[in-house]
Amino acid sequence: MNDTPARPLEQQVTLLELVDRVLNKGVVLSGDITLSVADVDLVYVSLRVLLASAGTLDRLALENGNGS
């Protein structure tokens, strides 16, 4: 969707931004059987580790807004 080639920092940040959005943003409805929060948190943590290992991402403060 992006015409301009992303710069290195942006390429690294893109996956992080994607994961943040899919796991922390988006519509939530009540009364649903949300997949176990613990399970989703585990996925989030493992993705964060994966992202952090991509190098400079560790200094991008992988905050997820969960207060953790």
Cβ neighbours of residue 66 closer than 8 Å, sequence gap 6 or more: 24
Q: How many residues form the binding site for another protein (CB under 8 A)?
A: 42
* Residue closer to another protein (CB basis): 24 or 54: 24
68 binds another protein (CB under 8 A): no
- The DSSP secondary-structure symbol of 26 reads S
Tell me the CA distances in angstroms from 32 to 10, 23, 62, one per residue in order: 35, 16, 28
- Please report, as ranges, the residues that interact with another protein according to CB under 8 A: 1-2, 4, 6-7, 9-10, 12-14, 17-36, 39-40, 42-43, 46-47, 50, 59-61, 63, 65
